[in-house]
């Protein structure tokens, strides 16, 4: 609860963003002194390409540091920090497939580079608004018509299209036309209308060959034409996106008509302050970086900037062998190695805890609401009654001021006289449960009753874990606290760090991981505890670990990493 002399208490101040505080990205936190913490906020200046003397309509990346642009004065190349003109004209669109590049523009102008040289052709007596290279040939689009160009042959795809300035979109095995009349797929003989998400305002394709779409503040994907669209994510604010593109890293950038640009990455949203008031172009370069274009300029965001944007607190668990991630009030599940995220639940408030057994799972939010998940369905199992929850196990939920809710009684409060706030709870395979929190409190449930003891009143205990095959409990806390607990007494483990250790997970008694602030991390191999190096920088509230016998998932700096072997690999 926020007192009169406090601006916040644990949670960030409601409604305050890093942009409000004068930064470009990040999420405001709450310091130990109960004042807004802008340490996680950041600012950057994107690399600006030199301005051309003409308007940039479209660009493609042909090599690292090399770009071709369709401009109002023709075809231009950016290389060695310089723009050069390759062909005159008034071009609207450009596309690349392998070593081939095609451009199209006013008065039917069509340019094609295939292997070694450029060739030109007049496709039609009309302005060409888009061009797409496909396995069938080159698809060229005009205001009310579309053509296949193969060699020097031009073949209309239909006598006339009742579409207003369509755009072509190509996936790994299909060609589409998109306009305000809808989405149409080429069958080999004609254009067949295809379903799109209700309210869709833009359709594009990702570098891995899937359709992506935006409708209002929602992001969708379509793997195969015969399958339904999948909602990947929903931006937390009401906004009407009109542009979308993705990259091979599973990231998406979305824009609207009012200079809003956001990035969706690993289940999280990031807002970017637009570099110009008239950004009209969002594309991906050959290395996967995003490019924004406005009139005569291009801006590039480099990989290190994307990683530095991952500054918000997150939680991570494992369910059905996949990383399960909390982002604000949403719970996502993401397949490693793929960019598809499934929304498991959207809670009324920020997600506080999650746990599962088999196909059944529960998720709790910070205002006491608990939802039950089974298969693809989520239903409210308990409505909050004013509690502030901090964590959940399959059988119990815990929170501030000693709150413990018990599933066996319909998530009613347990009869336990504890005043200290509880921060973490874990239920083992036998049904024993341990909850830990402030002032070193440890609450132990076994054989149907609770016992309470204080391991170290000078320490805040932050997490607890136990192997499925039993053994000692592992407890972590502030000031480098790490200990084993045998059900009666605790034994400290030397760590030689003062950083708060906040996340514990493992598989078996001989494969345990502990992560903390300031990059602190330890691994137990069955014989001894050893420091380990994390794959990225961590800050308070950004770490988590969970997993299975085959794969451990780490949340560090907002990114999800996978450990399949002694080396950490970025997912």
Q: Give residue 38's region: left, alpha or beta (phi > 0; psi -120 to 50).
A: alpha
What integer pLDDT is reported at residue 2 of this predicted model?
A: 55
Q: Is 305 helix (H, G, I), strand (E, B) or coil?
A: helix
Which residues, given as ranges, of the chain have pLDDT below 50?
44-48, 302-313, 336-340, 565-571
* Sheet containing 138-142, strands listed edge to edge, beginning at the edge strand earlier in sequence: 128-133, 138-142, 146-150, 153-156
CB 513 within 8 A of CB 556: no
Rg of the chain over CA atoms, in angstroms?
27
What integer pLDDT is reported at residue 550 of this predicted model?
A: 58
CB 373 within 8 A of CB 382: no
What integer pLDDT is reported at residue 307 of this predicted model?
A: 29
What integer pLDDT is reported at residue 249 of this predicted model?
A: 63
What integer pLDDT is reported at residue 26 of this predicted model?
A: 58
Q: Is 49 helix (H, G, I), strand (E, B) or coil?
A: coil
What integer pLDDT is reported at residue 286 of this predicted model?
A: 60
What integer pLDDT is reported at residue 123 of this predicted model?
A: 86
Q: Domains of the chain, with CATH numbers?
A: 1-43 (no CATH), 315-570 (2.130.10.10)
Of 44, 1, 4, residue with least CA distance to 311: 44
What integer pLDDT is reported at residue 313 of this predicted model?
A: 36
pLDDT digits (tens, 9 = 90+) for 116-131: 778 888 888 888 989 9
What integer pLDDT is reported at residue 276 of this predicted model?
A: 60
pLDDT digits (tens, 9 = 90+) for 341-356: 577 888 888 889 999 9
* Cα–Cα distance, 83 to 103 (Å, whole number): 17
pTM beyond cutoff 0.75: no
What token pair was written down for 388? 């502030």
What integer pLDDT is reported at residue 558 of this predicted model?
A: 57
Of 90, 116, 114, 84, residue with least CA distance to 102: 114
Q: Is 108 helix (H, G, I), strand (E, B) or coil?
A: helix
pLDDT digits (tens, 9 = 90+) for 469-490: 889 999 999 999 999 999 999 9
């Amino acid at each position: 609860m926020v007192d009169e002399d406090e601006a916040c208490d644990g949670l960030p101040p409601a409604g305050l963003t890093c942009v409000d505080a004068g930064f470009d990205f990040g999420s405001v936190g709450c310091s130990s002194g109960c004042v807004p913490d802008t340490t996680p906020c950041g600012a950057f200046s994107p690399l600006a390409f030199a301005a051309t003397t003409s308007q940039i309509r479209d660009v493609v990346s042909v090599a690292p540091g090399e770009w071709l642009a369709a401009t109002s004065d023709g075809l231009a190349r950016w290389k060695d920090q310089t723009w050069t003109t390759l062909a005159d004209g008034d071009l609207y669109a450009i596309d690349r497939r392998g070593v081939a590049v095609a451009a199209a523009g006013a008065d039917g102008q069509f340019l094609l580079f295939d292997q070694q040289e450029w060739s030109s052709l007049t496709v039609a007596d009309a302005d060409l608004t888009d061009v797409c290279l496909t396995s069938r040939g080159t698809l060229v689009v005009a205001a009310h018509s579309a053509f296949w160009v193969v060699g020097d042959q031009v073949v209309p795809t239909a006598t006339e299209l009742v579409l207003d300035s369509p755009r072509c979109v190509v996936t790994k095995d299909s060609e589409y036309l998109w306009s305000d009349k809808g989405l149409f797929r080429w069958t080999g003989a004609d254009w067949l209308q295809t379903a799109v998400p209700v309210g869709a305002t833009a359709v594009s394709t990702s570098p891995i060959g899937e359709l992506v779409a935006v409708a209002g503040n929602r992001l969708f994907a379509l793997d195969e034409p015969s399958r339904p669209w999948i909602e990947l994510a929903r931006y937390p604010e009401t906004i009407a996106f009109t542009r979308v593109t993705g990259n091979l890293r599973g990231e998406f950038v979305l824009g609207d008509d009012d200079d809003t640009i956001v990035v969706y990455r690993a289940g999280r949203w990031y807002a970017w302050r637009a570099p110009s008031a008239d950004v009209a172009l969002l594309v991906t370069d050959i290395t996967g970086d995003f490019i924004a274009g406005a009139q005569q300029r291009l801006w590039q965001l480099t990989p290190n900037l994307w990683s530095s944007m991952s500054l918000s607190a997150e939680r991570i668990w494992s369910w059905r062998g996949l990383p399960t991630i909390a982002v604000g009030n949403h719970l996502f599940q993401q397949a490693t190695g793929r960019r598809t995220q499934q929304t498991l639940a959207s809670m009324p408030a920020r997600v506080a805890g999650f746990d599962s057994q088999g196909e059944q799972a529960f998720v709790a939010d910070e205002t006491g609401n608990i939802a039950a998940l089974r298969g693809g369905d989520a239903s409210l199992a308990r409505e909050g009654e004013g509690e502030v929850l901090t964590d959940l196990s399959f059988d119990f939920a815990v929170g501030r001021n000693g709150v413990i809710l018990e599933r066996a009684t319909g998530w009613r409060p347990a009869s336990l006289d504890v005043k200290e706030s509880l921060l973490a709870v874990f239920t083992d395979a036998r049904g024993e449960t341990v909850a830990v929190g402030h002032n070193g409190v440890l609450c132990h449930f076994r054989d149907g009753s609770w016992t309470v003891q204080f391991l170290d009143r000078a320490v805040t205990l932050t997490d607890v874990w136990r192997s499925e095959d039993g053994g000692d409990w592992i407890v972590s806390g502030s000031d480098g606290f790490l200990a084993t607990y045998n059900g009666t007494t605790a034994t400290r483990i030397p760590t030689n760090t003062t950083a708060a250790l906040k996340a514990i997970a493992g598989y078996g008694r001989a494969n345990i991981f502990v992560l903390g602030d300031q990059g602190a991390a330890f691994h137990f191999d069955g014989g001894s505890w050893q420091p380990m190096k994390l794959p990225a920088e961590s800050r308070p509230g950004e770490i988590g670990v969970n997993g299975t016998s085959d794969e451990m998932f780490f949340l560090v700096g907002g990114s999800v990493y996978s450990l399949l072997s002694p080396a950490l690999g970025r997912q």
